[in-house]
Amino acid sequence: MSEAPWWRGAVIYQIYPRSFRDSNGDGIGDLPGIIDRLDYVASLGVDAIWVSPFFKSPMADFGYDIADPRAVDPLFGTLADFDRLLEKAHALGLKVMIDQVLSHSSIEHAWFLESRESRDNPRADWYVWADPRPDGTPPNNWLAIFGGVAWQWEPRRQQYFLHNFLASMPDLNFHNPEVRAAALDNVRFWLDRGVDGLRLDAINFCFHDRLLRDNPAKPPEQRTGRGFSPDNPYAYQYHYHNNTQPENLHFLEALRALLDHYPEAAALGEISSEDSLTTMAEYTSGRRLHMAYSFELLTEDFSAAHIRSTVETLEARMPDGWPCWAISNHDVARVLSRWGGPDAPPRLANLLTALVCSLRGSVCVYQGEELGLTEAEVPYESLRDPYGLAFWPTFKGRDGCRTPMPWDDSDQAGFTTGSPWLPIPSEHRRRAVSRQEADPQSTLHGFRSFMNWRRSQPALRSGDIRFIDLPEPVLGLERSRAGERILALFNLGPEAIDLILPDAVAHARPFNGHGLSEGTLDGARVWLPGHGLLFARVD
């Protein structure tokens, strides 16, 4: 039998280039800085890296506003640097995934500069343009995620253009077949270069409703979740018409047909829709995306019931597809603070890593999770994120999870010899890589130990999953593969707990090797320390 594809059950380490390591002293991380630290990444026991955007950009949204999707921005280095990164990663056994931002571009992209000039130029229909209403107002009520209306007036054409994000990030018109072909050509450029996978940013935003129908209002009690600030008017609507259109399924099939020419390459879609779990199931069924993830575990809801409900709902809707789970990334508060509060103990970081890596699917871990980094408090005068600047002070944006990696405990944390683009908090320097390398009991060593152990457990990488009925705050699940059954128990609370296992898993015997804080098992009786766990084999 052939082995499963590399991405199935893989742990993918997300690198945010601006904040990983700066090689030239300008205070901004770059591709040579990543290359310098790839040995460290490989030592973590992960399978792949996902490198967030490094393409040419005016940096209005720090790289997600792309002016040239085939060029490396000089801030980050050169195309030759990327080729060196790819070569070294592969030599270390790491796969390389890169972001692809297909739904929109920068306002400085050559396509948009041409499109905005007139209504009859060769790229006039490459973006979403619409006439104003008779009173001059935008064509409908659609709102932008980063605040305000989703339409910007362009005097050259006497029309509005659509932007689901910043006004400097116009949406491409995927109803135009030339746009779809051009997008696929850009993807092909990187696949030909040798990348192993694509993380598809906001992939359900490629198409809009042709009729430009208004989005219906959402009642106040439903204006929650999905990672949006509660005071953001974006939460006031059901976003039925500005994203997640049925035409997108056909485009995903065309994208998959392209990927099939590169048999080892995989596509991971980021989903944020009104029913993200259903959209994930649709987007991974048949010959579409290989994997998808959404924001359900990137919210503040930390309970065994929420995690179980999320996973079981997706399992019911996705019998054939493959999920990818994430509990942290560059868009949300760091999980140790978000789920553990201001006084979260470092050992909770290892519990959370073990938990997400025990779910069925692949996993994205965000740089710094292996150190147990907390959300940084960034003062207003140091904020860079346009989202945070727009909603200050009730929402402080995403800078708190984007502060530079602490490599040592010096003033600039070994990140740069210059002035870092975001301040590095003192508590992060206390959790620096150099300090944790010297401490056998550190979060970093616990992370490495668990990842290396997980690699030797086929049931955890690719087995089936079912949950065990246990009281809060304990999450219990069983992974099974080829007759092997692994029971995993996680105490999400700070207090120790005694419990009796149900009959279905009562005949279990503990096994370890993962190196994390664990409980004890005596017959059917389990004792779990606060934020402790236990793995057992079920006979």
- Residue spans per domain, the chain: 11-105+176-453, 464-538
pLDDT at 226: 56
Q: 270 an active-site residue?
A: yes
Residue 233 corresponds to which tokens in the numbers above? 């008017």
Q: What is the CA radius of gyration of the chain?
A: 23
pLDDT tens, position by position, for the chain (539 residues)? 347 899 999 999 999 999 999 999 999 999 999 999 999 999 999 999 999 999 999 999 999 999 999 999 999 999 999 999 999 999 999 999 999 999 999 999 999 999 999 999 999 999 999 999 999 999 999 999 999 999 999 999 999 999 999 999 999 999 999 999 999 999 999 999 999 999 999 999 999 999 999 999 999 888 876 556 667 899 999 999 999 999 999 999 999 999 999 999 999 999 999 999 999 999 999 999 999 999 999 999 999 999 999 999 999 999 889 999 999 999 999 999 999 999 999 999 999 999 999 999 999 999 999 999 999 999 999 999 999 999 998 889 999 999 999 999 999 999 999 999 999 999 999 999 999 999 999 999 999 999 999 999 999 999 999 999 999 999 999 999 999 999 999 999 999 999 999 998 988 998 888 989 789 999 999 999 999 999 999 98
**Catalytic member of 81, 201, 315, 399:** 201
Q: 201 an active-site residue?
A: yes
Residue 395: how many other CB atoms lie within 10 Å: 15
The CA–CA distances, whole Å, from 212 to 6, 124, 239, 529 equal 41, 18, 12, 55
pLDDT at 1: 34
**Alpha-carbon dihedral 236, 62, 379, 13, rounded to 10 degrees:** 90
pLDDT at 518: 86
Name residues whose C-beta falls within 8 Å of residue 450's C-beta, 6 or more positions apart in sequence. 350, 353, 354, 357, 514, 515, 516
Q: Tell me yes or no: is domain 464-538 CATH 2.60.40.1180.
A: yes
Name residues whose C-beta falls within 8 Å of residue 296's C-beta, 6 or more positions apart in sequence. 276, 277, 310
The CA–CA distances, whole Å, from 517 to 432, 491, 520 equal 21, 11, 10
**Catalytic member of 270, 315, 385, 399:** 270
What is the pTM for the complete model shown? 0.97
The CATH homologous superfamily to which domain 11-105+176-453 belongs is Glycosidases (3.20.20.80)
What angle (nearest 5°) sits at the alpha carbon of residue 93, between those of residues 87 and 99? Answer: 65
Helical residues (DSSP H) of 370-507, grouped into ranges: 386-391, 426-429, 433-437, 443-455, 458-462
pLDDT at 230: 63
DSSP 105-147: --TTSHHHHHHTT-SSSTTTTSB-EEPPPTTS--SS--B-TTS
pLDDT at 98: 98
pLDDT at 222: 87
Contact 538, 508 (CB under 8 A): yes
Q: Are strands 197-200 and 95-100 parallel, antiparallel or unpaired?
A: parallel
The CA–CA distances, whole Å, from 422 to 9, 304, 324, 403, 425 equal 34, 35, 29, 6, 9
pLDDT at 452: 96
pLDDT at 223: 85
pLDDT at 228: 60
